[in-house]
Structure 1
Amino acid sequence: MKIDKILNNNVVVTHDQSGQETIVMGKGIAFKKRVGEQISKNAIDKTYVLKDEAASYRFQEILKDVPIEYIEIANEIVEIANRNLDNSFSENIYTNLIDHIYSTVKRVKEGLEITNILIWDIKKFFRKEYDVGLQALEIIKDKIGLELSEDEAGFIALHLLNSGLAPNFNDAEKITKIMQEITTIIKYNFHIEFQEESVVYYRFITHLKFFAYRLVSNTHYKDETDEDLIKMIQLKYRNAYQCALTISDFIAKQYKYDITKDELLYLTIHIDRVIRQSELV
């Protein structure tokens, strides 16, 4: 294979027999090499074929400055995700993971750690993706020697979710419509305007987005919450719970989809938080 571009000592750009641009990785694969020279297939550890030009460009740009360990980490995470998750990932998954992990390690080494405000939702509703995130932390610890918090497992899970949740255009329209319908019910029920720049609203909308994905794909999460806790939530957040029931009835009639008790519970809590914040303004 002929070298078309050298990104660093470990990564080069070439073309396969069909003329498709290909990014290949191998330790020292470009050491003392020049553009136009040949590389042995035996020197190649990993091959990437990104058909989207924009995705390929972003990937090449990030590979120029990132040590090979981070590329290997991303490779292992994607392999684990492919074995354990049902999603097919977009071409951006490698770029996003490498960029996130490289930036996170630099930030943590500088003493800056960020709390994942969605960790509660991720652990509850996306357990498989979160478990992959936990395995990713072990890989990072093994290769970089840095132990990261479970918040980072949640961030990695979000990258997997965002890259794997790729509905077609019709689904995207439906998801947006569902989110608009739910927010309209809440606004009219409580006569409020949302504080759309707030963290509370961001968390609420993210929850709705993932709920809408489950609705359009007709998937559910098993009820695991203790009945006593559900009763306590019903009493403590009475108004929010009644609104959640209204939403549940609407969804059942409009989309023939039954919201589980667990989903109703979390929807109630999110509604309570977002209306309390709006009432403070």
Structure 2
Amino acid sequence: MLTVKKVLNNNVIIAQHPSYEEVVLIGKGIGFGKKPGDEVAGDRAEKFFVLRDAEEQEQYINLLNYVDESFIGLMNDFLERIEARLGVRLNEHIHVGLTDHLFFAVKRIQQGMDIKNPFSKETELAYPKEYAIATEIVAWLNGELNVSIPDGEIGFIALHIHSALTNRDLAEINKHTQLVADLIQVIEENLKIPIDRKDINYLRLVRHLHHAIERVRSGNYMEEQEALKKVLQTEYPVCYTLSWKLMKIMQQKLKRPVPDAESVYLTLHLQRLNKSI
């Protein structure tokens, strides 16, 4: 038995749990007639999750003031599908962030407003597993809500899933996605080429940039490649110089050192891309 701390609505309560302290319990009618201090059987809950952060608790409570209960129930089914598909438990902050995001996204779609995502392709390349799951979920949501969620929304959902999987802040992930897009723009301007987003060399470059950012963020640097660096500097001076420009941008944005070895791998990717145009 758990103790009720706060009734949020007829189907959602915050309760005191012996192991997890405060938990959110969700179940049909679980909060009906309950008041703080009452006991409630945990097995009556269809879903429970922990929101340890006080700010997230407050955000979830506020969420219930404007998101209807049927949508909350749908989102719980939605998140259970993701967890079942991945075989892991997602970080609980997704209950707040993704519920809020999708509720307003669906409202905009129902009002005829368009949703654009300029980084959708880059997101798919960086996080293919999350993007594939988001694609399946969008198809399911379209049927459940009788709406047509645009493809651009898949990328946003994929970022939320990645954030919950890796326990990384969504704002940081968005910042890194924007950084990759900025780097691609610098490449196009400096090489004076329009890059085909379907080119296999572009796909490899985007994946490399995301991995490079992650390595810099985690401090997992690669071994130096001094001999190869000198050869590339002589053979491909334009791409080699551009690689250093990209590294300086990364260093400024990430506020962390980028290892010299990165110039070797970037030069090779840039040269392959330049030759394929």
CA contact (8 A) 2:6 2:13 kept: yes
- Number of the residue aligned with 1:253: 260
2:150 is matched with which residue? 149
Percent identity, please.
24
CA displacement 1:10-51 (0-9 Å, x = unmatched): 101110124711110001212233333333334210111122
Contact 2:90 2:165 in 1 (8 A): yes
1:98 correspondence with 2:99: yes
Number of residue pairs matched by the alignment: 221
Q: 1:252, 1:258 within 8 Å by CA — same for their partners in 2?
A: no
Q: Tell me by how many angstroms 1:82 deviates.
A: 3.9
Deviates more, 1:15-24 or 1:5-14: 15-24
Match of 1:128 in 2: 129
* SS in structure 2 of the partner of residue 12 of structure 1: strand
Let me know the Cα RMSD of the aligned residues: 4.3
Following TM superposition, by how much is the alpha carbon of 1:107 offset from its aligned partner in structure 2, in angstroms?
A: 1.0
Following the alignment from structure 2 to structure 1, what is the Cα–Cα distance between the partners of residues 14 and 247?
A: 55
On the 8 A contact 2:20/2:50 being kept in 1, the answer is no
Q: TM-score of the superposition, structure 1-length normalised? A: 0.61
Q: 5 Å matches for 1:55-94?
A: 55-82=56-83, 89-94=90-95
Does 2:15 align with 1:8? no
Following TM superposition, by how much is the alpha carbon of 1:248 offset from its aligned partner in structure 2, in angstroms?
Answer: 8.0
| 1:15 aligned counterpart, secondary structure | strand
Q: State the shift of 1:163 in Å.
A: 3.9
Q: Is the 8 A contact 1:73 1:139 kept in 2?
A: no
Question: Could you list the runs of 5+ residues in structure 2 that have no partner in the other structure?
Answer: 191-207, 222-235, 249-257
Structure 1 distance, partners of 2:247, 2:40, is 63
8 Å Cα contact 1:87-1:165 kept in structure 2: no
**Pair 1:34-2:35 in alignment:** yes
Q: Distance in 2 between matches of 1:239 and 1:76?
A: 54
Cα distance change, pair 94–249 in 1 and its aligned pair in 2 (3 A): closer
Matches within 5 A, 1:196-211: 211=212
SS at 1:3's partner residue?
Answer: strand
Gap change, CA 1:45 and 1:17, over 3 Å in 2: same
Match of 2:200 in 1: none
Whole-angstrom CA distance in 1 between matches of 2:128 and 2:38 = 47
Residue type of the alignment partner of 2:41? S
Secondary structure of the residue aligned to 2:103 is helix
> Aligned AA for 1:126?
Y
Q: Residues 49 and 92 of structure 2 are in contact (CA less than 8 Å); yes or no, is this contact kept in structure 1? A: no
Given that 1:4 and 1:14 are in contact with CA atoms closer than 8 Å, whether structure 2 keeps it comes out as yes
CA contact (8 A) 1:132 1:157 kept: yes
